[in-house]
């Protein structure tokens, strides 16, 4: 085996490995015996067919593929040992040619992280502002949620709820066709096509109307952009929204404990402030972390971003309850390449922040006790029913799950320390250590 180190960049070492014919032949022979034992060939017992017969039966390509599947990982391990390389993650292996067997490897190396003086970062928290208008807007939303819809004997207006029959096509192909469809007439609503809601305004119950609309670029389905669907609609019902009166009875309808409208406003105000404070806390932590990243010099192999992108995609599949990637891509009308490109900046940011926080945790020697992990597990399972709680406890107490929880808690401690430093109220650990010396 001949190994050539081509170059090292972006925390990757690029190798070219050329296999000796004898090594390939030995591996081919092992693959032959392995495949012969599990291949049915007429006229031969399993494992007894000559190699030439097996090759004709399954094809030389299949034998070579099986050979390379076992040969390349072994050769890769030998190559990195020979070059004194410590891989940080899985390599990217590309077969350059098969006669002789030559493959190229991109070996990810451990990230390099040079922390800046994060002990001196300063970030000003943004004040939480909540006005009476915000409270009134939230209460107005509650009124809409508890509104009723009543028949209206007048032409359609914006915000009405209409029942209509729709027939439409694009280039003689069906587009939207439905009887008894419920549709709220919201100004500038882009579906089923921009301008559709505006066409309904002014129509009366029982009236029919035909019209065409132009679908602009940027439409959710790119393949329809620029096309002109034709519509035929018939309005069968018109309903208008009736909002409940803003009084004590309305407050009790929201919650029987709210005996007056003033109590409702007080509760809404408290909830809004809590949400605003939580959002401000998360935003502040994000700005603090970014401030630390800005003074950190960091370099890592691209495969970490690819792995993080895979994780983000899997999260979206679960959120959309999609069975597989193809189903999800169909729903969002994107190619896999487009999706990965879209997620690349976020994945890069997450990797950069994670590596930086991890390095600070090592620097500060943060630790988590078993008791802290147990408390976190108790907090995670407190709202589960008994059967579900037992099941969760069993899973969360596995070594792998406890290790993951430990890492989460260490990260939490790290962020909290950085937040205290940024506010100017934290203990400057670096100065403290220097004073001790």
Tokens of 61: 């390509």
The domains found in the chain, sorted by start residue, are: 2-110 (3.30.70.1050), 148-242 (3.10.50.40), 262-436 (1.10.3120.10)
The H or E element spanning position 378 is helix 370-381
Q: Taking a C-beta distance cutoff of 8 angstroms, is the pair 93, 100 a contact?
A: no
pLDDT category at 352 given cuts 50, 70, 90 is very high
Residues with Cβ < 8 Å from 323, sequence gap 6 or more? none
- Nearest C-alpha neighbor of 238 from the set 151, 335, 142: 151
The angle at the Cα of 135, spanning 130 to 136, to the nearest 5 degrees, equals: 135
Which pLDDT value is given to residue 310? 95
pLDDT digits (tens, 9 = 90+) for 184-239: 999 999 889 899 999 999 999 999 999 999 988 777 666 777 889 999 999 999 99
- Nearest C-alpha neighbor of 222 from the set 332, 340, 343: 332
Helix axes 261-294, 132-145, angle to 10 degrees: 110
Q: Quick check: helix, strand or coil at residue 231?
A: strand
Residues with Cβ < 8 Å from 129, sequence gap 6 or more? 276
Question: Looking at the predicted structure, is the pLDDT value of residue 333 above 80?
Answer: no
pLDDT digits (tens, 9 = 90+) for 266-321: 999 999 999 999 999 999 999 999 999 999 999 999 999 999 999 999 998 888 88
The angle at the Cα of 231, spanning 230 to 232, to the nearest 5 degrees, equals: 135
Classify residue 105 as left (phi > 0), alpha (psi -120 to 50) or beta: beta
C-alpha distances in Å from residue 37, one per residue of 40, 41, 51, 54, 71: 8, 10, 12, 11, 19
Q: Which of 92-106, 179-193, 345-359, 416-430 has the lowest mean pLDDT?
A: 416-430
Classify residue 280 as left (phi > 0), alpha (psi -120 to 50) or beta: alpha
The percent of residues above 70 in pLDDT, for the chain, comes to 96
pTM of the model: 0.76
């Amino acid at each position: 085996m001949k190994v050539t180190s081509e170059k090292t960049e972006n925390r990757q070492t690029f190798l070219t490995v050329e296999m000796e014919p004898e090594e390939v032949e030995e591996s081919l022979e092992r693959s032959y015996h392995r495949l012969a034992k599990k291949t049915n060939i007429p006229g031969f017992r399993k494992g007894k067919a000559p190699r030439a017969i097996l090759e004709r039966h399954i094809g030389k390509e299949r034998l070579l593929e099986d050979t390379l599947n076992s040969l390349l990982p072994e050769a890769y391990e030998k190559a990195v040992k020979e070059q004194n390389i410590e891989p940080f993650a899985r390599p990217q292996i590309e077969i350059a040619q098969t006669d002789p067997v030559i493959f190229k490897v991109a070996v990810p190396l451990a990230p390099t992280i040079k922390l800046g003086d994060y002990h001196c970062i300063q970030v000003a928290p943004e004040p939480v502002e909540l006005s009476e208008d915000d409270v009134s807007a939230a209460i107005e939303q509650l009124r809409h949620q508890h509104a009723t819809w009543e028949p209206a004997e007048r032409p359609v207006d914006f915000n009405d709820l209409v029942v209509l029959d729709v027939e439409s096509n694009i280039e003689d192909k069906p587009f939207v066709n439905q009887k008894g469809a419920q549709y709220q007439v919201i100004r500038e609503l882009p579906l089923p096509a921009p301008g559709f809601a505006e066409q309904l305004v002014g129509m009366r119950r029982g009236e029919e109307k035909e019209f065409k609309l132009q679908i602009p670029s940027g439409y959710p389905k790119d393949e329809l952009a620029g096309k002109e669907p034709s519509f035929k609609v018939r309005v069968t019902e018109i309903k208008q929204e009736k909002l409940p009166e803003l009084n004590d009875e309305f407050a009790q309808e929201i919650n029987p404990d709210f005996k007056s409208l003033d109590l409702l406003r007080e509760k809404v105000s408290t909830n809004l402030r809590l949400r605003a404070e939580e959002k401000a806390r998360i935003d502040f932590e994000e700005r603090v972390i970014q401030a630390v990243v800005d003074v950190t010099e960091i370099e890592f192999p691209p495969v970490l971003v690819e792995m993080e992108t895979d994780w983000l995609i899997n999260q979206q599949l679960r959120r959309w309850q999609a069975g597989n990637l193809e189903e999800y891509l169909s729903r969002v009308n994107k190619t896999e390449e487009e999706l990965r490109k879209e997620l690349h900046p976020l994945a890069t940011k997450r990797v950069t922040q994670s590596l930086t926080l991890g390095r600070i945790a090592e620097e500060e020697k943060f630790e988590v006790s078993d008791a802290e992990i147990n408390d976190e597990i108790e907090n995670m399972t407190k709202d589960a029913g008994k059967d579900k709680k037992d099941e969760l406890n069993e899973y969360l107490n596995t070594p792998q799950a406890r290790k993951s929880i430990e890492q989460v808690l260490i990260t939490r401690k790290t962020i909290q320390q950085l937040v205290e430093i940024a506010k100017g109220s934290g203990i400057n650990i670096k100065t403290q250590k220097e004073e001790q010396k």
